[in-house]
């Protein structure tokens, strides 16, 4: 069965303390891995799509990387406004579905 696992479930960082979030997956025929940010009471907001191992994408303080078995979302010098839940999802095989992890809740303390 295809699975997407995110770790840690929750992460508290001091402002400026860099760290990484992990998304591991066990799917056949990965077509894309997606990162989203979700603020409380809102829908997920698209951040990145990665398609193949070795690919990297950056946006402000966020950098997403992809290997054959996992993806990392690196947060450099985070600010309190980076506090949110970060979700990853994969699209695999010939299907049209996205499979989501349960997310990492990030809190950045001033």
Partner 1 sequence: NAGVTQTPKFRILKIGQSMTLQCTQDMNHNYMYWYRQDPGMGLKLIYYSVGAGITDKGEVPNGYNVSRSTTEDFPLRLELAAPSQTSVYFCASSSSRASYFGPGTRLTVT
Q: How far is the CB of 69 from partner 1 (least distance, A)?
A: 19
Among 43, 60, 81, 94, binds partner 1 (CB under 8 A): 43
Q: Is 75 in the site for partner 1 (CB under 8 A)?
A: no
CB 68 within 8 A of CB 98: no
3-state SS class at 80: helix
Work out whether 34 is an interface residue with partner 1 (CB under 8 A): yes
In the block, residue with structure tokens 């809740």: 105
**8 A C-beta contact, residue 98 and residue 50:** no
The site for partner 1 (CB under 8 A) is made up of 32, 34, 36, 41-46, 49, 87, 89, 96-98, 100-103
């Amino acid at each position: 069965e295809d699975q997407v696992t995110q770790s840690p479930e929750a992460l508290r960082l001091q402002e400026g303390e860099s760290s990484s979030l992990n998304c591991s997956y066990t799917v056949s025929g990965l077509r894309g891995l997606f990162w989203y940010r979700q603020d409380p009471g809102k829908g997920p907001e698209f951040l990145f799509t990665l398609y193949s191992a070795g690919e990297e994408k950056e946006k402000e303080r966020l950098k997403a990387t992809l290997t054959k078995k996992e993806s990392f979302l690196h947060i450099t010098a985070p600010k309190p406004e980076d506090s949110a839940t970060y979700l990853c999802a994969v699209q695999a095989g010939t299907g049209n579905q996205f499979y989501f992890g349960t997310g990492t809740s990030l809190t950045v303390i001033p």
